[in-house]
A and B are shown apart, each in its own frame.
Chain A
Amino acid sequence: MKKITWKAVSGVFAVLFLVMHMTACSSMNSDKQIEDYKDKGKQSKITRPDPDATPVPEEREVSNFAGIGEEISESDIQNGKEIPDALVYTVNKTTLFSDIAEAGIVQEDMVPLIEDSPLDEKGEIKPGVKFLLFEMTVKNIRAEPMRNITSLYLLYADSITEISDKASTMSFLDLPCPAYFSNPSGSRVGDEWKEYYTYNVPVGQSKNIKVGWYVDLDQYDQSNLYLIFNRDNDEEKLFKLYF
């Protein structure tokens, strides 16, 4: 009887410990950032040509948009110089899942600290949050083999902003780093995984990869989400999501 008593007490404290030891990720104070962004987005970026102006021969403009199955070149930076057409990405598929389980992914394979946590106080996925998964192929033409998948950015554009120019001149909102990457290097050590986003593609070889983000669709209209390649460089490309 006495044995059961002190075991029961220990058991109660252990349960309390487990309940209270919920991992809480710090959340970015993005509310002001979002409001600032929305105010900036209300300024129209649409311009009209002057009918009286002297016609100027137009340079051939290459679209900076890409679609499913289309090859997207990315440059590499080596010794401060931009090496064009060093990598080729192809987005093969984009899927919006209710959660990572639906995507066949387990929690242990996620990045240890998910920025802007999708979990509420009870540790459950917030309403409106979905898991966006990109499946793509990356081919190394002449880039350094060690890569980091966070060179890709998921951006959100206000619906009234005309997107016709480089992302660097537009008003985009950066979403946090990916929550999932299928080909991490290194290994998890406790609650840390330093090389989670690092992967290796030897020159001349290709690799199939998956990259996933949690997206709060109560905050962001899914039709205004863009994956950007080659940001701030000459071959910048925007991949618009269609669902």
Chain B
Amino acid sequence: MKMKKTQKMMMSLAVSFIMLASAVSPVFAANTSDTTLPTGFISYSSNVTTAVRSKTNTTPVYIKNTSGMNLWVYANGGSKPSNPSVTESTGTTQGGFAKVLPGQYVIHTLIYENGYRNAWLNISTATNGVSGKCKGVWSPDTAGSYASAN
């Protein structure tokens, strides 16, 4: 009887310690809510950029391209400069860039690993001569599995 009570007490303490340990490292809600890509005009040499959003973990960036065009995307970290150029990149897109065909994809990045806690996308078209209005949604973090764009 004494052993059972002691074991109960130890287990309870152990659970409490585990709970406390996890509380020391705050857990952030992942930023997976989809927001719109800007609907401005893009071409091989003209771009649009998304708003800056919080990046909370190392999961890839999610993008759904419904523009009908293949997109050239830099997934960048940190704050966004004024009037970013079509090639503005923080070097955080794995492989240098992501070519995003119509559909749902993830873009693998080093945004969070490189210490950035915000993300934004720089978008143009992937093919010279192709232009039009951008359309789609994205999120800085991903929940679920999708094909890779890079």
B132 at the interface (CB under 8 A from A): yes
Known contacts A150-B36, A232-B40, A24 near B8 by CB under 8 Å: no
Are B82 and A36 neighbours in the complex by a CB distance under 8 Å? yes
Q: Are B16 and A232 in contact (CB under 8 A)?
A: no
Contact B40 A168 (CB under 8 A): yes
Q: Tell me the nearest residue of chain B to A111, going by C-beta.
A: B33
Partner of A177, one of B26, B35, B38, B133: B35
Instruction: Name the distance in Å between B104's Cβ and chain A's nearest Cβ.
Output: 11
- Whether A216 is near chain B, meaning CB under 8 Å from some CB there, is no
In angstroms, Cα B29 to Cα A115, docked, is 11
Residue of A14, A26, A111 touching B117 (CB-CB under 8 A): A26
B-side contacts of A6, CB under 8 Å: 8-9, 12-13
Question: A32-51 toward B: CB 8 Å interface, digit per residue (1/0)?
Answer: 11001000100000000000
Contact digits for A80-98, partner B, Cβ 8 Å, 1 yes 0 no: 1110000000000000000
Residues of B within 8 A of A196 (CB): 33-34
A113 and B20: CB pair below 8 A?
Answer: no
Using C-beta atoms within 8 Å of the partner chain, give the interface range for chain A.
35 or more
Q: Which residues of chain B from 53 to 99 have any CB-CB distance to chain A below 8 Å in the complex? A: 53-56, 67-69, 78-80, 82
Name the A residues within 8 Å of B15 (CB-CB). 10
Closest to A113 in B: B29
Q: Which of B5, B8, B133, B137 contacts A80 (CB 8 A)?
A: B133
Which residues of chain A are within 8 angstroms of B82 by Cβ–Cβ distance?
36, 40, 171
User: Of A17, A26, A78, A111, which contacts B56 at CB under 8 A?
Assistant: A26
Q: Which residues of B contact A82 (CB under 8 A)?
A: 39, 133
Which secondary structure dominates chain B's binding surface? loop
- In the complex where A29-B118, A80-B68, A111-B33 touch, is A177 in contact with B53 (Cβ < 8 A)? yes
Which residues of chain B (97-135) have a CB below 8 Å from chain A?
117-118, 131-135
Asked whether B32 is an interface residue with its Cβ less than 8 Å from the other chain, the reply is yes
The verdict on A191 contacting B137 (CB below 8 Å), with A26-B56, A168-B40 known, is: no
The reply to whether B28 and A26 contact each other, CB–CB distance below 8 Å, is yes
A115–B51 CA distance with the chains assembled, in angstroms: 11
Instruction: Please judge, given known A-B contacts A115-B53, A193-B33, A194-B32, whether A77 and B135 are in contact too, CB under 8 Å.
Output: yes
B117 with A29: CB separation less than 8 A: yes
Quick one: closest A residue to B24, CB to CB?
A: A20
Asked if A112 lies at the interface with its beta carbon under 8 angstroms from chain B, I say yes
Task: Decide if B52 is an interface residue (CB 8 Å cutoff).
Answer: yes
- A6 vs B5: C-alpha distance in the bound complex, in angstroms? 10
Instruction: Name the one of B16, B28, B55 contacting A25, with C-beta atoms under 8 angstroms.
Output: B28
Q: Residue-by-residue, is A172-188 near B (CB-CB < 8 Å gives 1, otherwise 0)?
A: 00101100000000000
A198 at the interface (CB under 8 A from B): yes
Is B16 touching A14 in the complex (CB atoms < 8 A)?
yes
Q: Given A6-B8, A16-B23, A80 and B33 touching (CB < 8 A)? A: no
CA distance A90 to B61 in the complex (A): 34
Considering the chains assembled together, what is the distance between the CA atoms of A196 and B139 in angstroms? Answer: 12
| Beta-carbon nearest neighbor of A147 in chain B | B36
Residues of A within 8 A of B5 (CB): 2
Offer 23 A-B interface pairs, CB within 8 angstroms, sorted by A: A6-B8, A16-B23, A21-B22, A25-B28, A26-B54, A33-B52, A77-B134, A78-B135, A80-B69, A80-B131, A113-B28, A153-B51, A174-B51, A174-B52, A177-B33, A177-B35, A191-B30, A192-B30, A194-B32, A197-B35, A198-B34, A232-B48, A233-B39
